[in-house]
Amino acid sequence: MNLVAEFDTELLATSQAVVAKRYAQGTWSEQPDRIAEEVPLALIYNGIAHAVMLGTPADLEDFALGFSLTEGLISHAKDLHDVEVVVSELGLELHLEIASAAFHGFKASRRQMAGRTGCGLCGQETLQQAIRPVSKVGHTLQLQPHALERALNQLPDWQSLHQTTGGVHAAAWADLEGHLQLLREDVGRHNALDKLLGALFKAKVDTRHGFLLLTSRASHELVYKAAFAGIELIAAVSAPTSLALRHAEEAGLTLVGWVRKGGFSVYSGQKRVG
């Protein structure tokens, strides 16, 4: 039985208390711990189920908006009229009410996908659908190296759930001086970015005046979503993938990896840094 959603989503637990059996220095002991919650999140558009993601039950409106925009399900933030969260025994349902014009495009996409399910990944057209063209970004950003180091140094103080559990990713937005402005966390790196982008879209932040900092590797989906939002620089604490680099070069985006104390590596768009 579903519990309909007149409740504060901030009350949803993002971590769970457990007791681990700890082995250290030749002995066993019981150690209280907290682990991150991971729940199914079903996205339902105007009554039609679209996808189920696994994620952290926090900042769900930001997630709904960021996912809907970056996946091309709506064209503008104003197309998302309402988000209702319904709790079930199996997870959470996000019921999204979108504009009728956007819904027509959504239904056409659903029909197109349904016509292809029998053959699976069966040819060039399907591969083109999986690897979508990346948006071009502007060339207005100029960043000094110290901004990346400052943002990295501030990161731990903003990662409250990671400090508790040690098991979630973060996507953060920093200004040109490297001061963090927004951060979202999730067990999934894509979800964390969708949540952050949703918050940026909702606040109407000008993405020409800052950069993205990720606690994960830089994969092609993250580059795609960042370019969609007009972000000119991605900084990741780990490495990029080859497809991420290819997409960054196609978008004209600066891709920075291995952001650590003392240095970083620029893989594309070096002119924006220094």
Contacts of 198 (CB under 8 A, 6+ apart): 59, 61, 62, 63, 64, 65, 66, 67, 69
CATH for 145-272?
A: 3.40.140.10
pLDDT tens-digit series, residues 73-89: 999 999 999 999 999 88
CATH for 39-129?
A: 3.10.20.10
Q: How much is the pTM?
A: 0.90
Predicted confidence at residue 14, as pLDDT, reads 95
Active site annotation includes 119: yes
User: Taking the domains of the chain in order of start, what are their residue ranges?
Assistant: 39-129, 145-272
Q: Which of 11, 24, 119, 121 is catalytic?
A: 119
Predicted confidence at residue 104, as pLDDT, reads 76
pLDDT tens-digit series, residues 156-208: 999 999 999 999 999 999 999 999 999 999 999 999 999 999 999 999 999 99
For helices 220-228 and 189-203, what crossing angle results, to 10°? 0
